[in-house]
């Protein structure tokens, strides 16, 4: 074994031993380490200064009690988290997730990924992530407000526009951001707009922030396809999820001339051979907050299916898959089914929706594959633009913001492609993203000393 391979193996073993049971965190680290062999071969100096070890240990992990009272008077206790992973490039930046599956390991995988993603944007933002095991499903608006207020009553001590700036993620949309921001303002008696992003546009939010992750994922997909002389235009697309990222990915695919024939939620999926009616999907998921089955009930040719959305690829001769729901939603079998169905491109709108086996299957089959840390970086990029607007008390138009988003996604695509080429793995966007993301953070860490 070469010295750099031995170094990586030793650091990885230490991470497993020091973070027992955090399966998703191990998975995220392993995926990055697979690409770093190529870097350490060229730059052994990163081994001497223990950069890998430092990059895998969060700077700070905050875990706190979140007590709140339900409408019926019962008292509930949830667990709140904020993992401040790396601030070499700027204040910690990354969303909050409210979902019953949230554990410390989930937060660590997401914040670790966030460090590399934020680095790829080229913007001055470090990486963090937070959230709670609170389940918003079935809760009234007042219960959600009380939960958010209780969460912020502890979290505010650790946040600030030069410290740590959260945003939304699964279960945290504009409504929750409003409740969180309101409580922060009330406790601190300061209108610190830059303390959180994803705000409403009349009170400091950026136009195009809700759209940014989904739009950005499709911009990245378009760039990948163009590298092979193809485009989204005329393509049949399968999207998983029907939340913020999925809905805006569907919107952008339709704008670029593609047809989305399926979408899903945590209770199943809908197949609509005529193409998803976005207005109806929004009505069902955003306004009524209903199950996606209600969509199928309202569309004559659509049907609801209990299983995963990917099984439709063969039947529908789909060309593109955009997983936009949650982690590990495409396993090896699903990836094989997609590859056999002739899928051309997969872009991760969600964070780590493909298992390592699935990624291998896509790459071996020659499917264009965009990892989430590159493909879904548009959301955090526009969040950083929201911070810029807050700092200068400015408000940009949607057109201007969209141009900046499109430029950023083009930059990320070019950076991943050129880095992969430079390191002898042309076309491997996973390696390109991991290496380019790593280098910017690692160099900043080296410059800042052993901290
Ligand atoms: P969201 O608005 O809460 O939507 C999540 C969607 O995924 C919903 O349709 C949800 O179904 C489905 N889902 C959630 N957990 C699931 C599970 N365990 N199994 C199957 N389906 C599940 O969240 P989002 O903001 O769109 O985030 C989606 C993904 O994108 C996440 O991986 C997130 O980390 C990533 N991401 C988001 C942003 C952003 O700006 N929001 C940025 C970068 C990456 P139900 O409606 O049934 O709950």
And the tokens for 148? 């958010």
**pLDDT value of residue 66:** 99
**If you average pLDDT over residues 47-53, what whole number do you get?**
93
- Which residue has the least CA distance to atom 38 on ligand 1? 169
Of the candidates 135, 137, 132, 128, the one whose C-alpha atom is nearest the C-alpha of residue 84 is 128
Helix (H, G, I), strand (E, B) or coil at 60: strand
CA distance 111 to 418: 25
383 lines ligand 1 (CB under 6 A): no
Mutate to test the pocket of ligand 1, among 28, 116, 245, 408 (most ligand atoms within 8 A of CB): 245
Of the candidates 412, 413, 331, the one whose C-alpha atom is nearest the C-alpha of residue 121 is 412
**pLDDT value of residue 316:** 86
378 lines ligand 1 (CB under 6 A): no
Closest atom of ligand 1 to CA, residue 246:
26
348 lines ligand 1 (CB under 6 A): no
Phi, psi of 392 (to 5 degrees): -100, 10
Residues linked to residue 63 through DSSP beta bridges, in sequence order: 81
**pLDDT value of residue 134:** 98
Burial class (CB in 10 A: 0-12, 13-18, 19+), 235: buried
Interval between CA 349 and ligand 1 midpoint (Å): 9
Question: How does residue 135 score in pLDDT terms, banded at 50, 70 and 90?
Answer: very high
Question: How does residue 171 score in pLDDT terms, banded at 50, 70 and 90?
Answer: very high
Q: 441 vs 51, 87, 120, 438, CA distance in Å?
A: 10, 9, 10, 5
Q: What percent of the chain has pLDDT over 90?
A: 96
Indicate the pTM of the whole model: 0.97
- Residue pair 406/220 in contact (Cβ under 8 Å)? The answer is no
- Which residue has the least CA distance to atom 23 on ligand 1? 170
- For 229, other C-beta atoms within 10 Å of its C-beta total 6
More confident residue, 22 or 317: 22
Spell out the residues 6+ positions from residue 114 whose beta carbon is closer than 8 angstroms to its own.
85, 93, 94, 127, 128, 129, 380
376 lines ligand 1 (CB under 6 A): yes
130 lines ligand 1 (CB under 6 A): no
Mean pLDDT of the chain: 97
Q: What percent of the chain has pLDDT over 70?
A: 100
CA distance 373 to 347: 10
Question: How does residue 186 score in pLDDT terms, banded at 50, 70 and 90?
Answer: very high
**If you average pLDDT over residues 9-35, what whole number do you get?**
97
- Residue pair 168/243 in contact (Cβ under 8 Å)? The answer is no
And the tokens for 435? 């290496």
- Residue pair 331/355 in contact (Cβ under 8 Å)? The answer is yes
**pLDDT value of residue 284:** 98
94 sits in the region (left: phi over 0; alpha: psi -120 to 50; else beta) called: left
**If you average pLDDT over residues 83-98, what whole number do you get?**
98
350 lines ligand 1 (CB under 6 A): yes
CA distance 103 to 97: 11
pLDDT of 338 over the 90 cut: yes
CA distance 305 to 264: 9
**Residues 330-362, buried b or exposed e (16+ Cβ, 10 A)?**
bbeebbebbbebebbbbbbbbbbbbbbebbebb
361 lines ligand 1 (CB under 6 A): no
pLDDT tens per residue across span 223-237: 999 999 999 999 999
Interval between CA 327 and ligand 1 midpoint (Å): 9
Contacts 24+ apart (CB under 8 A), 44-52: 44/3, 44/4, 45/446, 46/442, 46/446, 47/3, 47/4, 47/7, 49/445, 49/446, 49/450, 51/442, 51/445, 51/446, 52/7, 52/8, 52/11
Mutate to test the pocket of ligand 1, among 120, 176, 325 (most ligand atoms within 8 A of CB): 325
Residues noted as catalytic: 129
**If you average pLDDT over residues 357-362, what whole number do you get?**
98
pLDDT of 183 over the 90 cut: yes
Residues linked to residue 165 through DSSP beta bridges, in sequence order: 93
Interval between CA 94 and ligand 1 midpoint (Å): 15
Tell me the domains of the chain and their CATH numbers.
60-192 (3.40.50.10860), 214-375 (3.40.50.720)
Mutate to test the pocket of ligand 1, among 326, 376, 408, 433 (most ligand atoms within 8 A of CB): 326
pLDDT tens per residue across span 73-84: 999 999 999 999
Closest atom of ligand 1 to CA, residue 97:
34
pLDDT of 442 over the 90 cut: yes
Interval between CA 169 and ligand 1 midpoint (Å): 7
**pLDDT value of residue 120:** 98
CA 171 to chain centre: 13
- Residue pair 411/122 in contact (Cβ under 8 Å)? The answer is yes
296 lines ligand 1 (CB under 6 A): no
pLDDT tens per residue across span 241-290: 999 999 999 999 999 999 999 999 999 999 999 999 999 999 999 999 99
266 lines ligand 1 (CB under 6 A): yes
**pLDDT value of residue 3:** 87
Interval between CA 380 and ligand 1 midpoint (Å): 15
57 sits in the region (left: phi over 0; alpha: psi -120 to 50; else beta) called: beta
pLDDT tens per residue across span 371-409: 999 999 999 999 999 999 999 999 999 999 999 999 999
Question: How does residue 1 score in pLDDT terms, banded at 50, 70 and 90?
Answer: confident
């Amino acid at each position: 074994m070469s010295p750099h391979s031995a170094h990586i193996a030793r650091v990885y073993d230490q991470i497993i031993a020091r973070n027992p049971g955090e399966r998703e965190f191990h998975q995220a680290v392993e995926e990055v380490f697979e690409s770093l062999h190529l870097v350490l071969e060229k730059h052994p100096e990163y081994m001497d200064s223990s950069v890998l070890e430092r990059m895998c240990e969060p700077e700070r992990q905050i875990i706190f009690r979140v007590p709140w009272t339900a409408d019926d008077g019962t008292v509930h206790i949830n667990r709140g988290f904020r993992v401040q992973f790396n601030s070499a490039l700027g204040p910690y930046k990354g969303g909050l997730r409210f979902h019953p599956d949230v554990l410390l390991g989930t937060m660590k995988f997401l914040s670790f990924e966030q460090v590399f993603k934020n680095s790829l944007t080229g913007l001055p933002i470090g990486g963090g992530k937070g959230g709670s095991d609170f389940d918003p499903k079935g809760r009234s608006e007042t219960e959600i407000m009380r939960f958010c207020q209780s969460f912020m009553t502890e979290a505010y001590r650790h946040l600030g526009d030069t410290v740590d700036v959260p945003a939304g993620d699964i279960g945290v949309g504009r409504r929750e951001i409003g409740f969180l921001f309101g409580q922060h303002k009330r406790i601190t008696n300061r209108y610190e707009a830059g303390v959180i992003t994803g705000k409403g546009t009349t009170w400091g939010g950026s136009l195009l922030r809700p759209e940014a992750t989904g739009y950005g994922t499709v911009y990245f997909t378009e760039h990948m396809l163009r590298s092979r002389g193809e485009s989204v235009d005329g393509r049949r697309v399968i999207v998983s999820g029907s939340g913020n990222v999925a809905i805006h990915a569907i919107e952008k695919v339709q704008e670029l001339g593609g047809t989305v024939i399926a979408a899903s939620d945590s209770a199943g999926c809908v197949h609509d051979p005529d193409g998803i009616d976005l207005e109806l999907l929004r009505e069902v998921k955003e306004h009524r907050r209903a199950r996606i089955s209600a969509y199928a009930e309202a569309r004559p040719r659509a049907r609801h299916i209990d299983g995963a959305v990917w099984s439709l690829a063969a039947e529908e001769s789909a060309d593109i898959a955009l997983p936009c729901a949650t982690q590990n939603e495409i396993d090896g079998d699903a990836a094989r089914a997609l590859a056999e169905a002739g899928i051309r491109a997969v872009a991760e709108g969600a964070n780590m929706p493909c298992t390592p086996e699935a990624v291998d299957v896509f790459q071996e089959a020659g499917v264009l594959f965009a990892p989430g840390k590159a493909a879904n970086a548009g959301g955090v990029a526009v969040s950083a633009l929201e911070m810029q607007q807050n700092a200068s008390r400015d408000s940009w138009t949607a057109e201007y913001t969209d141009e900046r988003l499109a430029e950023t996604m083009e930059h990320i695509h070019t950076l991943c492609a050129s880095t992969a080429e430079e390191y002898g793995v042309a076309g491997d966007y996973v390696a390109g993203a991991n290496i380019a993301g790593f280098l910017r953070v690692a160099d900043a860490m080296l410059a800042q000393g052993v901290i």
